[in-house]
């Protein structure tokens, strides 16, 4: 039963489910959150997907409303990137006006602020930044990331290392500049050269990125699970993705097989169509076991209906974690 | 009283001597250091705010964070970027 994933690892705080779109990441995230909340832990499940589905599964509109309490101990949050970007632009404008005591932002600068917000990378970066805010807040016992589909998740993970490298380089440039400042100040017998605010900003950014990537790669605190279903294409894709994730040092904790058609159906009088599907599934389940071996943690059956709303989430949580 | 006068005179002398020495040796070095720093400042803005010239170099989220600090330099930087030429311009 999956409950030992938490009882064996008391330091675990960050849970992530990854996998292709539509395999059940959000369902597992919600069910895990439900289980943890019911067993007395304060949990936040949040989505970094611009097309998030937490609102759908909890049957409650939570988009862009911050952390919303779904039931005691269970909070859910969907990040509204657009809103975040608009707020952020406003912060920058205000800073410029305050710093230079201006009435309005110079046209050229305003154009830049607007153009920057329209860049495609802006949304991801804004989400990334908000996630840092959420996880460094430390208000919850557990954080569950409802991840975006695979390709996107990889992009998100790689962003941390790319940003980190970039910031390190320009921080170095900035430090060299400070050295020249120092030289000129000494020559001219000026008092201390001015402290470089940009350097301070860069160090702040670096520290935030490090906080985020250290969480993603912390083997003790973080668990990353892959969701697979018994289908050929999905098995191949997951294998490839697992290799890529390993490259970014993401601690892979195992695979959970979803949508398994119950085998006992085979004993009943069922149409050939379903019997064929069952046969096929048997082959793929075997394949999953050979490919992923001991890392396969559980098989979760296909339910008779969609999993939305708390009663169905509860049912799923009991299937995954047993009695609690 | 006389000592004090003597002292201030001496200070005046040493100050002038220091200034002269600075003018002879230090000034150029300081100017060079500041010039180099100026170039680096422009390089820095190019890296962080490149999209102002249509050269997107990095994710814009964090470059916006730095924008307020470089507002005064933006116009001189743009002028410089557009003015600087390299060898291929001469060949053309």
Residue of A nearest to B65 (CA): A92
pLDDT digits (tens, 9 = 90+) for A140-190: 999 998 877 665 666 666 777 777 787 888 888 888 888 888 887 777 766
Give A278-307 pLDDT, tens digit per residue: 999 999 999 999 999 999 999 999 998 899
The total number of residues written for chain A in this structure = 324
DSSP state of B22: I
Rounded-to-integer distance, Cα A254 and Cα A293, Å? 10
Please provide the distance, in angstroms rounded to a whole number, between the alpha carbons at the two ends of chain A.
12
- Is A99 in Cβ contact with B68 (below 8 Å)? yes
Region of residue A126 (left: phi > 0; alpha: psi -120 to 50; beta: else): alpha
Q: Do B37 and A202 touch (CB under 8 A)?
A: no
Contact across the interface for A180 and B26, Cβ inside 8 Å: no
> How close A189 comes to chain B (CA, Å)?
9
What's the pLDDT at B92? Answer: 52
Task: Look at A6-20, A100-114, B24-38 and tell me which has the smallest mean pLDDT.
Answer: B24-38
Domain ranges of chain B: 2-91
Pick from A96, A170, A188: CB nearest B68: A96
- The residue ranking higher by pLDDT, A181 or A101, is A101
Task: Write out residues in chain B with pLDDT < 50, as ranges.
Answer: none
Least CB–CB distance from B67: residue in A109, A159, A163: A109
What pLDDT is attached to residue A105? Answer: 92
- B66/chain A closest Cα distance in angstroms: 7
Query: Exposed (0-12), middle (13-18) or buried (19+): which is A306, by Cβ within 10 Å?
Result: exposed
Mean of per-residue pLDDT scores for chain A: 88
Domains of chain A: 4-83+122-175+204-321 (3.40.50.300)
């Amino acid at each position: 039963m999956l409950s030992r994933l938490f009882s064996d690892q008391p330091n675990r705080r960050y849970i992530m489910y990854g996998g292709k779109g539509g395999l059940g990441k959000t369902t597992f995230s919600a069910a895990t959150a439900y289980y943890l909340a019911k067993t007395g832990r304060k949990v936040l499940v949040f989505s970094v997907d611009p097309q998030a589905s937490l609102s759908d599964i909890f049957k409650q509109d939570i988009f862009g409303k911050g952390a919303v309490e779904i039931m005691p101990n269970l909070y859910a949050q969907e990040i509204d990137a657009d809103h975040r970007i608009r707020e952020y632009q406003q912060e920058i404008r205000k800073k410029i006006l305050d710093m230079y005591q201006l009435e309005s932002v110079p046209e050229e600068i305003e154009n830049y602020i607007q153009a920057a917000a329209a860049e495609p990378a802006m949304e991801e970066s804004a989400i990334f930044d908000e996630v840092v805010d959420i996880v460094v807040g430390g208000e919850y016992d557990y954080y569950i990331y409802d991840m975006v589909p695979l390709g996107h998740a990889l992009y998100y993970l790689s962003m941390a290392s790319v940003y980190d490298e970039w910031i390190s380089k320009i921080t170095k440039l900035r430090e060299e500049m400070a050295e020249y400042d120092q030289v000129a100040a000494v020559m001219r017998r000026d008092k201390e050269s001015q402290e470089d605010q940009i350097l301070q900003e860069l160090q702040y950014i670096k520290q935030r990125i490090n906080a985020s990537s250290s969480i993603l790669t912390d083997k003790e605190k973080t668990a990353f699970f892959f969701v697979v279903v018994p289908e050929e294409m999905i098995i191949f894709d997951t294998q490839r993705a697992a290799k890529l994730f390993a490259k970014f040092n993401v601690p892979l904790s195992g695979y959970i097989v979803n949508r398994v058609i119950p085998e006992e159906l085979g004993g009943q009088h069922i149409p050939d169509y379903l019997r064929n599907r069952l046969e096929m599934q048997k082959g793929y389940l075997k394949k999953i076991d050979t490919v992923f071996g001991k890392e396969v943690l559980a098989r979760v059956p296909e339910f008779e209906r969609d999993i939305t709303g708390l009663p169905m989430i509860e049912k799923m949580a009991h299937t995954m974690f047993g009695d609690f | 009283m006389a000592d004090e006068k003597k002292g201030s005179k001496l200070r005046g002398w040493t100050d002038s001597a220091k200034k002269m020495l600075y003018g002879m040796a230090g000034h150029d070095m300081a100017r060079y250091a500041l010039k180099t720093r100026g170039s680096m400042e422009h390089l820095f803005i190019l890296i962080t705010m490149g999209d102002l010239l249509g050269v997107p170099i990095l994710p814009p989220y964090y470059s916006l964070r730095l924008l307020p600090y470089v507002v005064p330099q933006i116009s001189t930087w743009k002028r410089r970027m557009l003015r600087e030429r390299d060898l291929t311009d001469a060949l053309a």
